Amino acid sequence: MGGTLVRMSLTPWQTFCLLFIFQLGTTIVFGFAGGAKQDAWLAALISTLIGCGVVWCIAKVYEQHPKHNWVAILKLTFGSWVGHLLAMLYILALIYEAGRILRDLGELMTTFLLPRTPIGFSMFLVLVLVVYAANAGIERMARLAEVSIWFIFIFLLLLLALLLSSGVNNFGWLLPMATDWKHIAVTVFPLGLTTTFGETIVFAMMWTLTVGPKDFRRSALFSSLAVGLVFILLDLIAVGTLGPQMFSRALYPLLSTFQLIRVADFIDNLDPAVVSIFITGGMFKVFAYAYAACAGIAAQWHIRDHRAIVVPVGTMILLTAIYTAKSISSHIFVGLKWVPWVIELPLFVMLPIVVLAIGTVKKQLQSSQPGGKP
């Protein structure tokens, strides 16, 4: 890999699958827009509509620079020195975010699957799979995503059907609607935009390895709409099962929702199936961040093969996951109150919009000059 990545062949469907599972990620673990209580579905709807606008802006940058990844685009837009510094910030942010997601998975596995296993070892096992996947490349992960997306859809539909058959729902809890727009606004901005939708910028590090700009835009927008619909549906079901207060306070609200499944005193205790879905999405998300970090480093320092830095990047991700938080409570506090404002909003939302605006102005100035392209 160099400053300009060599295009590889993915289909639009494979790109959609990768984006969908990535955007679903660990957001499904902690629920979406829990702070809005019974209006969570409305906050999810608003976040999806605005988030699709953010994703459109990110995809338009690719259309302006179809032969370059995000590192090269930053240097073309802001110059060599500033672009280099911004690229370094992005690489560090990708590694940090990957470490946080790995910590999410470690806490989840320790709580529900492997309570007697040290969390560090659980995270190490997940990271081994991620490093192997990053070493194998994006094409193989795209093929795996094609299979995994059906696994996720089928299990989610089955779980929802079983939950509705259990008779534990009270959709009267969804009322009254839209009574506190302040909480809805605070939930939408910035967390509702940066989480899931703004994170699509991760693929800018490797989008020349996927599909062409227009196919990428369509795949990204369809993925964002599909994920938004999933969040809306799950929020409606979760609030109608747990009630608004418990939904907003639960650490894992969707898992708590599915734990209430009881059918004919026979089908219950489906925690492993639910956690398996969560871990699948989380592992794809860690892979995307790790692979993007490797692609960014390779482009920044003109390393021909990203596989040479997969293990060092994986080591940094693991150390970040272990040492950045002392407990699950501090980990979640930083993720909700600090990360969206300091990292995700400026790097994942604002800067891509600035890059798009600068690129648009440059294009108009060039076309207005004598001999410029119309």
Q: Is the whole-model pTM more than 0.75? A: yes
- pLDDT, one tens digit per residue, over 40-63 is 999 999 999 999 999 999 999 999
User: Has residue 4 got a pLDDT over 60?
Assistant: no
Give residue 374's pLDDT.
47
What is the phi-psi region of residue 25: left when phi exceeds 0, alpha when psi lies from -120 to 50, beta otherwise? left
Computed from CA positions of residues 326, 332, 337, 341, in that sequence, does the dihedral angle turn out positive or negative? Answer: positive
- pLDDT, one tens digit per residue, over 183-212 is 899 999 988 889 889 999 999 999 999 999
Higher pLDDT, 77 or 250: 77
| Residue 8, C-beta contacts closer than 8 angstroms, at least 6 positions apart | 137, 138, 139, 209, 210
Compute the distance between CA of residue 275 and CA of residue 247 in angstroms, rounded to an integer: 18
User: Has residue 250 got a pLDDT over 50?
Assistant: yes
Compute the distance between CA of residue 138 and CA of residue 298 in angstroms, rounded to an integer: 15
Compute the distance between CA of residue 31 and CA of residue 285 in angstroms, rounded to an integer: 16
Give residue 150's pLDDT.
93
User: Has residue 133 got a pLDDT over 70?
Assistant: yes
- pLDDT, one tens digit per residue, over 273-308 is 788 888 888 999 999 999 999 999 999 998 988 889
Give residue 2's pLDDT.
44
Please state the rounded mean pLDDT for residues 105-125. Answer: 91
- What rounded mean pLDDT belongs to the chain? 89
Higher pLDDT, 341 or 29: 341
